[in-house]
Structure 1
Amino acid sequence: MTESLSSTKSTNDFDQQHLWHPYASLPPTYPNIVIDHADGIYIVTQDGTRLIDGMSSWWASVHGYNHPKLNAAIIEQLGKMAHVMFGGLTHQAIDLGKKLLSIVPAGLDAIFYADSGSIAVEVALKMALQYQIAAKRPDKQQFASTHSGYYGDTWHAMSVCDPINGMHSLYGKQLPMQHFVPAPPMGFERDISQSEYDELTDFFDKNSDKLAGFIIEPIIQGAGGMRFYSPQYLQLLRKLCDKYKVVLIADEIATGFGRSGKLFACEHASISPDIMTIGKALTGGYMTFAATLCTRKIADTISQSDYPALMHGPTFMGNPLACAVACASIDLILSYDIEARTANMQRTMEQQLAPAVLLEGVAEVRCLGAVAVIELHDAVEMPIFQALLIENGIWVRPFGKLVYIMPPYVIADDELATLCQALLKVVSIYLTQKG
Structure 2
Amino acid sequence: MSITTRLDHQFDKDHLWHPYTSMTNPLPCYGVESADQCLLTLDSGEQLIDGMSSWWACLFGYNVPELNKAAKNQIDKMAHVMFGGLTHQPAIALGKKLVEITPANLEKVFLSDSGSVAVEVALKMALQYWHAKGSPQSQFLTIRNGYHGDTFGAMSVTDPEGSMHELYHDFLPQQLFAPQPTIAFDEQWEAHDLNAITSLVENNQHNIAAIILEPIVQGAGGMYFYHPQYLKGVRMLCDKYGLLLIADEIATGFGRTGKLFACEYADISPDILCIGKAITGGYMSLAATLTTTHIANTISHGKAGVFMHGPTFMGNPLACAVANANIDKLLSFNWQQCVEQISTNLSTFLAPCKTLERVKAVRVLGAIGVVELKQAVDVAKVQKQFVELGVWIRPFGKLIYIMPPYIIKEAELKKLCDAIYQVASSS
TM-score range relative to shorter protein: over 0.9
Correspondence for 1:96: 94
Task: Show CA shifts across 1:165-210 (max 9, x none).
Answer: 2111111111011100001224102244343232222211101110
The reply to whether residue 381 of structure 1 matches residue 344 of structure 2 is: no
Secondary structure of the 2:170 match is: coil
Shift of 1:405: 0.1
Q: 1:32 aligns with which of 10, 29, 48?
A: 29
Q: TM-score, normalised by structure 2?
A: 0.97
Correspondence for 1:366: 363
Shift of 1:232: 0.2
> What count of residue pairs does the alignment treat as equivalent?
424
Pairwise mapping of residues 232-251 of structure 1 onto structure 2 (< 5 A)? 232-251=229-248
Name the Cα RMSD after superposition. Answer: 1.4
Q: 1:264 aligns with which of 257, 261, 270?
A: 261
Distance 2:13 2:311 in 1: 31
Shift of 1:338: 2.4
Structure 2 residue runs of 5 or longer lacking an equivalent are: none
Q: TM-score, normalised by structure 1?
A: 0.95
Percent identity, aligned pairs only? 53
Q: Is the 8 A contact 2:363 2:369 kept in 1?
A: yes
Correspondence for 1:44: 41
Correspondence for 1:422: 419
Secondary structure of the 1:323 match is: helix
Distance 2:4 2:378 in 1: 28
Task: Show CA shifts across 1:124-171 (max 9, x none).
Answer: 0000111112123x2211111100000000011100000102111111
The reply to whether residue 277 of structure 1 matches residue 261 of structure 2 is: no
The reply to whether residue 135 of structure 1 matches residue 133 of structure 2 is: yes
Correspondence for 1:164: 161
Shift of 1:344: 1.0
Correspondence for 2:354: 357
Shift of 1:86: 0.5
Correspondence for 1:433: none
The reply to whether residue 67 of structure 1 matches residue 56 of structure 2 is: no
Pairwise mapping of residues 312-331 of structure 1 onto structure 2 (< 5 A)? 312-331=309-328
Amino acid at match of 2:80: H
Distance 1:303 1:340 in 2: 43
Task: Show CA shifts across 1:316-375 (max 9, x none).
Answer: 100000000000110111122322221111100000010001011011111000000000
Amino acid at match of 2:414: A
The reply to whether residue 122 of structure 1 matches residue 120 of structure 2 is: yes
Amino acid at match of 1:212: A
Amino acid at match of 1:207: N
Correspondence for 2:10: 13
Shift of 1:382: 1.3
Secondary structure of the 1:242 match is: helix
Q: 1:184 aligns with which of 155, 166, 181?
A: 181
Correspondence for 2:197: 200
Shift of 1:245: 1.3
Q: 1:222 aligns with which of 215, 219, 223?
A: 219
Identify the range of structure 1 (107-116 vs 188-197) with the bigger mean alpha-carbon deviation: 188-197
Secondary structure of the 1:366 match is: strand
Distance 1:134 1:193 in 2: 38
Q: Is the 8 A contact 1:112 1:293 kept in 2?
A: yes
Correspondence for 2:405: 408
Structure 1 residue runs of 5 or longer lacking an equivalent are: 431-435
Amino acid at match of 2:379: M
Distance 1:168 1:359 in 2: 31
Q: 1:302 aligns with which of 299, 302, 305?
A: 299
Cα 1:420–1:102 change in 2 (3 A) is same
The reply to whether residue 289 of structure 1 matches residue 286 of structure 2 is: yes
Amino acid at match of 1:262: K
Q: Is the 8 A contact 2:193 2:230 kept in 1?
A: no
Amino acid at match of 2:218: Q
Distance 1:382 1:24 in 2: 11
Distance 1:44 1:194 in 2: 49
